[in-house]
C-alpha cells in the first residue's frame, strides 16, 4: 500500500479543481484558499473511486531450485526401500554385496596386472611352441605343484611345468623378449641380458634337464629334479627393484 503517493495526488488534483481554468489575459483574481478547503477537496477526490483510493502492491518471492537439498527425493527412496518386504530387502542387499565383491576382484586383478612386477614384454606370446605360458594357466606356487607331480612319479609333467613356469616368468616378470618360435637356446641367450648369474645358472640347469627328459628320453635322478622344484621360486622371483 502506497498511501502517501495517492494522498499527494489527491491533494494536487483538488487544488487544480478548486483553482479552475485560467489564462494569463482574462483570469479573474482567485481568492486565497484555506487549508480546510484544500483538505475537504482532497477528501472528496480521495473518496471518488475513479480518482483516489489506495494503491496496493504485491511482493512475489521466488525460491531458487538449488537453494535447498532435495530431501524429498532422498525420502522417496528411503520410503520405497522400507515398503519392500523382508525377502526383497534381503535380495537387494545380496545384489549390492555381490557387486561390491566383484568390484574388489576387478580392482585386485587390475592392480596385479599394472603392478611394478608386471614388466611384460611388448607383444608377449601366449604360447611358446606348444607350451602355454599365460600366468593364469599356471599355479601360484609352481615349484610346489611340480614337486607334487614328481612325488606321484610324473617326472616329465613336473619338468614341463617347471619349464613353462620359467618361460612365463621370463616374459611376464623379467620382460625378456621371447617370441612364440624361440627355441630353448634362444630363450637362454635372451634371458642372459635380464637375469643375474644365479638365476641364469638355474635356468640353464632346468633347460638341460628338460631337454634330456623330453627329447633324449633319459631319466633324471629324483633328487636332482626335487632340487629344481625347491629352487624354482627363489630363482625365478621378480627382480629386487620390481618387488612390491
| pLDDT digits 0-9 by tens, 11-69 | 655 555 555 554 444 545 555 556 666 566 666 656 666 554 545 455 545 454 554 55
Which band of pLDDT confidence, cut at 50, 70 and 90, is reported for residue 85?
A: low
Mean of all residue pLDDT scores within the chain = 77
Per domain, the residue ranges of the chain are 1-17+37-56, 86-115, 127-242
CA dist 127 and 171 (Å) reads 11
Q: Which CATH code fits 127-242?
A: 1.20.120
Are the C-beta atoms of 225 and 209 separated by less than 8 Å?
A: yes
pLDDT confidence of residue 10: 57
Are the C-beta atoms of 218 and 212 separated by less than 8 Å?
A: yes
167-185 burial code (b ≥16 CB/10 A, e <16): bbbbbbbbbbebeeebebe
pLDDT confidence of residue 20: 54
Total residues belonging to the chain: 244
- Residue 180 phi/psi, 5-degree rounding, is -60, -30
CA dist 177 and 218 (Å) reads 30
Angle at 227 (CA atoms; ends 221, 231), nearest 5 degrees: 155
Are the C-beta atoms of 204 and 181 separated by less than 8 Å?
A: no
**Which of 35-44, 147-156, 196-205 shows the lowest mean pLDDT across its residues?**
35-44
pLDDT confidence of residue 238: 85
Burial class (CB in 10 A: 0-12, 13-18, 19+), 114: exposed
| pLDDT digits 0-9 by tens, 114-123 | 554 444 445 7
**Which of 158-162, 199-203, 228-232, 236-240 shows the lowest mean pLDDT across its residues?**
236-240
Q: What's this model's pTM, rounded to 2 decimal places? A: 0.51
CA dist 207 and 186 (Å) reads 11
Angle at 207 (CA atoms; ends 202, 210), nearest 5 degrees: 125
pLDDT confidence of residue 149: 96
pLDDT confidence of residue 189: 94
Amino acid at each position: 500500500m502506497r498511501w502517501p503517493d495517492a494522498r499527494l495526488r489527491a491533494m494536487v488534483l483538488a487544488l487544480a479543481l478548486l483553482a479552475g481554468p485560467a489564462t494569463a489575459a482574462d483570469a479573474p483574481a482567485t481568492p486565497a484558499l484555506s487549508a480546510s478547503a484544500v483538505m475537504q477537496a482532497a477528501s472528496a477526490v480521495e473518496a471518488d473511486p475513479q480518482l483516489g483510493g489506495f494503491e496496493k502492491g504485491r511482493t512475489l518471492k521466488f525460491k531458487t531450485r538449488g537453494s535447498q537439498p532435495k530431501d524429498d527425493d532422498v525420502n522417496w527412496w528411503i520410503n520405497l526401500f522400507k515398503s519392500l518386504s523382508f525377502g526383497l530387502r534381503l535380495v537387494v542387499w545380496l545384489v549390492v554385496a555381490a557387486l561390491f565383491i566383484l568390484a574388489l576382484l576387478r580392482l585386485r586383478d587390475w592392480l596385479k596386472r599394472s603392478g611394478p612386477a608386471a614388466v611384460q614384454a611388448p607383444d608377449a606370446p601366449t604360447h611358446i611352441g606348444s607350451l602355454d605360458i599365460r600366468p593364469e594357466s599356471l599355479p601360484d606356487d609352481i615349484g610346489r605343484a611340480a614337486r607334487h607331480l614328481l612325488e606321484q612319479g610324473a617326472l616329465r609333467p613336473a619338468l614341463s611345468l617347471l619349464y613353462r613356469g620359467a618361460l612365463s616368468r621370463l616374459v611376464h616378470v623379467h620382460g625378456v623378449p621371447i617370441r612364440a618360435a624361440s627355441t630353448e637356446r634362444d630363450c637362454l641367450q635372451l634371458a642372459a641380458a635380464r637375469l643375474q648369474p644365479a638365476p641364469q645358472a638355474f635356468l640353464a640347469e632346468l633347460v638341460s634337464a628338460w631337454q634330456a627328459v623330453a627329447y633324449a628320453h633319459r631319466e633324471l635322478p629324483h633328487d636332482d629334479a626335487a632340487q629344481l622344484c625347491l629352487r624354482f621360486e627363489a630363482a625365478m622371483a621378480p627382480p629386487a627393484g620390481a618387488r612390491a
